[in-house]
Amino acid sequence: MGDRQREYFRKKLLSWREDILRESRETLQQLQSENQNHPDLADRASSETDRAIELRARDRQRKLIAKIDAALKRIEDGTYGYCEETGEPIGLKRLDARPIATLSLEAQERHERRERVYRDD
The pLDDT tens digits for 26-51 are 877 777 666 566 667 776 677 778 77
Measured CA to CA, the distance from residue 77 to residue 79 in angstroms comes to 6
Residue 101 near residue 95 (C-beta atoms within 8 A) = yes
pLDDT for 76 equals 96
pLDDT tens digit sequence for 67-113: 999 999 999 999 999 999 999 999 999 999 999 999 999 999 999 98
Topology (CATH) of 1-80: Four Helix Bundle (Hemerythrin (Met), subunit A) (1.20.120)
**Domain coordinates in residue numbering, the chain:** 1-80, 81-121
pLDDT for 48 equals 75
pLDDT for 34 equals 65
Mean pLDDT on 48-77 = 90
Secondary structure (3-state) at 120? helix
| Terminal Cα-to-Cα distance of the chain (whole angstroms) | 40
Residue 103 near residue 90 (C-beta atoms within 8 A) = yes
Say which residue, 64 or 59, is predicted with more confidence. 64
Question: For the whole model, what pTM was predicted?
Answer: 0.77
Instruction: Using alpha carbons, select from 84, 27, 87, 75 the residue that is nearest to residue 52.
Output: 27
